[in-house]
Amino acid sequence: MPDAKLVPPPTKGHVSIARVSHAWYVVCEARELGKKPLRVELLGTPLVLFRAEGGKPAALLDRCPHRNAPLSLGRVVAGGRLECAYHGWQFEGGGRCALVPGLVGGSEARERRAPACATREQGGLIWVWAELDEEPTREPFALGDAPAGYTRVVRHVEAPGTLHATLENALDVPHTAFLHRGLFRGAGKRNEIRATVRRSADRVEVEYAGEPRPSGAVGYLLSPSGGTVEHWDRFILPSIAQVEYRLGRESHFTVTAFGTPVSDFVTRLFAVVDFRSPIPAWLVRPFLEPVALSIFKQDTRVLRAQSETVRAFGGEQYMSTELDLIGPHIWRLLKQAEAGERASDETSVEREVRFLA
């Protein structure tokens, strides 16, 4: 029985959930996958990760074909096989059942597969192709190593929001002065910012001009030679959010966050931070992480409340303004990808927007 309502609250009866399969997602950091199998969830489906023969990461549906026990309760045995905890069936990285203990006479040969996903390990991350028993049609986003002179930090967090809401939040500028008041942009004097939105087949980029230099000593330390702030925000299909800042010649800061749709209302972000500045890394790092976590905690709180509200009302009722520079583009790209469509490849300056921040 549904709860009473004052009136049917006006919603679109729709939630911004796009389920893009046939794509690469990061499911864990490489260091998280050791000798024990690891259960993860991707697009609502439980998978078990383990290191198969030669240490190569493997991903199987986390359900034994025999009696449906989760394979993640088992252990990895000799030869990089995953052994089910219940009856000891053994599976290879590709999903083939190599042993049913107790069976007499060659019956191991029969077809008793566990469905498997393709995997890649690169840049300290483990990627899974979001489709069972399918050959990937491309390779994961090539991150590359941190450039010489840069420091790299890798962290992941889990957000209680849809992939769309979480990525929009990560790339949205106007909320920072309110949700992160005091931590990030201040609520002081406002400057007119000029934003240029560029969209191409698999991405959208916003370039900001007119942002003020950090004031006082911090600004001087980051860029003794002077110079202006340059800032780009990018969304790249299927789920990458990238924020890049330059301050003069000396300071450069890029966060590349790989979003993973765990389930409809849970999104993981695997963030790779590369930075270079005149302030030594050993001095930056002790500040960077606590501040980033404080910001993320505030984002988490609002994303959870947003999810709960959308669910309580049975759908969204969003009203955008021209300040919502990137969210609607992310949504359109996600829906096209979900439908298997692909926009044309030519880049076009979509528009220029001026606002105060």
What are the residues whose beta carbons fall under 8 Å from the beta carbon of 168, sequence distance 6 or more?
324, 326, 327, 330
Contacts with its own copies, 12-41, as mask; x by CB under 8 A: ---x-x-x-x--------------------
Which span (67-75, 119-127, 216-224, 286-294) binds its own copies, by CB under 8 A? 67-75
- Determine if 204 is a binding residue for its own copies (CB under 8 A): no
Min CB(261)–its own copies separation in Å: 6
CB nearer to its own copies: pick between 343 and 353 = 353
Say which residue the tokens 């009136």 belong to.
7
- Determine if 232 is a binding residue for its own copies (CB under 8 A): no
Residues 313-332 that bind its own copies (CB under 8 A): 313, 316-323
The 3-state DSSP class for residue 151 equals: strand
CB nearer to its own copies: pick between 190 and 249 = 190
Joined tokens for residue 283? 């001095």
Q: What is the Cα–Cα distance from 198 to 233, expressed in whole angstroms?
A: 10
Among 29, 30, 80, 88, binds its own copies (CB under 8 A): 88
Min CB(248)–its own copies separation in Å: 26
Among 38, 40, 42, 326, binds its own copies (CB under 8 A): 42
Q: What is the Cα–Cα distance from 278 to 291, expressed in whole angstroms?
A: 19
Joined tokens for residue 207? 């370039």
The 3-state DSSP class for residue 315 equals: coil
Give, in degrees to the nearest 5, the angle at Cα 197 between 16 and 232: 95
Which span (30-38, 68-76, 210-218, 249-257) binds its own copies, by CB under 8 A? 68-76
Measured torsion, CA atoms of residues 120, 164, 20, 34, in degrees rounded to the nearest 10: 30
CB nearer to its own copies: pick between 98 and 153 = 98
Min CB(257)–its own copies separation in Å: 19
CB nearer to its own copies: pick between 222 and 229 = 229
Are 304 and 312 in contact by the 8 Å Cβ rule? The answer is no
- Determine if 102 is a binding residue for its own copies (CB under 8 A): yes
Pick from 332, 344, 144: nearest CA to 254: 144
CA-only gyration radius of the chain, Å: 23
Which span (44-52, 214-222, 230-238, 268-276) binds its own copies, by CB under 8 A? 44-52
- Determine if 191 is a binding residue for its own copies (CB under 8 A): no
Min CB(272)–its own copies separation in Å: 25
- Determine if 109 is a binding residue for its own copies (CB under 8 A): no
What are the residues whose beta carbons fall under 8 Å from the beta carbon of 55, sequence distance 6 or more?
80
Q: What is the Cα–Cα distance from 260 to 43, expressed in whole angstroms?
A: 8
What are the residues whose beta carbons fall under 8 Å from the beta carbon of 233, sequence distance 6 or more?
171, 173, 205, 206, 208, 241, 242, 243, 244, 326
- Determine if 305 is a binding residue for its own copies (CB under 8 A): yes
Residues 137-166 that bind its own copies (CB under 8 A): 165
Min CB(193)–its own copies separation in Å: 8
Q: Which residues on adjacent β-strands are paired with residue 38?
A: 49
Among 30, 146, 157, 177, binds its own copies (CB under 8 A): 177
- Determine if 46 is a binding residue for its own copies (CB under 8 A): yes
